[in-house]
Amino acid sequence: MRLLKINFFLILIYSNVLAGTNYFNEGLTFYQNKQFNKAKFKFEQDIVFNPKNEKSYLYLSKIFKEQEKKELEEKNLNTVILLNPKNEEATYNLAQLKLKKSDFEGSKKLIETLLTFCKDYCKKSQNLKIEIEKSLKK
């Protein structure tokens, strides 16, 4: 009887993890097809099962960027960075968002942090840093 309970519990956990993975993949497919409302729903479902999945939060931020909902975009980018402080894309996107909101100091701080660990966003970050410095001189 005890073995049956353990097996049932393991199957339940496995099916929940698998369901969460499917939600993310479904969301990604909708996102790639520019069906943002459906994608948003799937990423939110994924977060229910995988609350630490930084990728779902990152894609939600991209959706909110498309929908020009800057506060929600920023909230999701901050969540990505909270989950993974070395997420280059989220750090870069948040720096860009702060620059657009005229938060030059916040943007500069993010870019300086990004330049300490960047691999893929180094050139973009350098260019953004130059843009920020020009804005600060005005």
pTM: 0.81
pLDDT at residue 101, rounded to an integer: 93
Q: What is the DSSP string of 44-109?
A: HHHHHH-TT-HHHHHHHHHHHHHTT-HHHHHHHHHHHHHH-TT-HHHHHHHHHHHHHTT-HHHHHH
Give residues with Cβ within 8 angstroms of 129, minimum separation 6: 108, 111, 112, 115
Rounded distance between C-alpha atoms, residue 42 and residue 45, angstroms: 5
Q: Cα separations (Å) of 135 from 5, 117, 130, 132?
A: 63, 24, 9, 5
Residue 129: inside a domain: yes
Looking at the structure of the chain, the number of domains it has is 1
Which structural domain range is residue 92 located in?
85-138
How confident is the model over 76-125, as pLDDT tens digits? 999 999 999 999 999 999 999 999 999 999 999 999 999 999 899 889 98
How confident is the model over 1-32, as pLDDT tens digits? 666 566 555 565 555 555 546 999 999 999 99
Residue 51: inside a domain: no
Residue 113: inside a domain: yes
Rounded distance between C-alpha atoms, residue 138 and residue 50, angstroms: 44
The structure tokens 């459906």 sit at 38
How confident is the model over 41-71, as pLDDT tens digits? 999 999 999 999 999 999 999 999 999 999 9
Which tokens hold the place of 136? 């600060």
50 residue type, one letter: N
Residue 125: inside a domain: yes
Residue 136: inside a domain: yes
